[in-house]
Amino acid sequence: MSSGGALAIFVKTPELSPVKTRLAASIGQEMANQFYELSLTATFAVAKSLEVKTPSLQIYWAVAEPEGLDADRWGSFPALLQGAGGLGSRLNSIYQELLKKHDYVCFIGADSPHLYVEELRSGVLQTARNLGKKFVLGETLDGGFYFFGGSIPLPASTWQGVDYSTSQTGNQLKSRLSALGNVALLKNNFDVDTVNDLRRISEISESNGSLLPEQIELIRWSRLLK
């Protein structure tokens, strides 16, 4: 096993799969694609900054499509295939694969591009400090989760027994993790699934010194939709 941890960013390849379909229902697929591209750019910038601040952390793209693994856009970090099946099966697959090589594993998606570097780093460091003892979970306002961190093997049923994309997703995962260890909670945040979530992005103040330029660009773009 290598030293240090892993952060996997779960993504789709826009050229190969529809992205942000719930958001597209309100603003159209073209605009939803624009959001996702800006979101990927901002998430990458946050991840690169995190990489500099946390040298022992290896960052990966967890890519949905086999055909997308070799896409030029993923060249900055190693790309892993999420695998087949529903989201629970894919989360399980990546967790098992990375836990064989790293002391701990963290997950995020590309749909919370507003997360400050230090917020994300806090979750990573909490996971690193509690090896074998505790899970770390960041829940979203709509009942999902935006961050997971763990360091002990999990049965596939932990992931596969959760109903994803519902208001109970975070609670169900937290309950299953709690049966195996303590769960430390990060501050609630949000991810962008709907136009109301996009409005939350537009309301973030640009004057916040924790924002990266790529995040500010996304905030400004979101205001054009009003």
2 has pLDDT over 70 = no
Q: Record the tokens describing residue 88, joined without a space.
A: 């629970």
pTM of the shown model: 0.95
Pairing of strands 134-139, 57-63: unpaired
What does the pLDDT look like over 25-68, one tens digit per residue?
999 999 999 999 999 999 999 999 999 999 999 999 999 999 99
| CA 196 – CA 140 distance, rounded (Å) | 14
What does the pLDDT look like over 148-165, one tens digit per residue?
999 999 999 999 999 999
Domains and CATH numbers, the chain: 5-223 (3.90.550.10)
Largest CA distance in the chain: 50
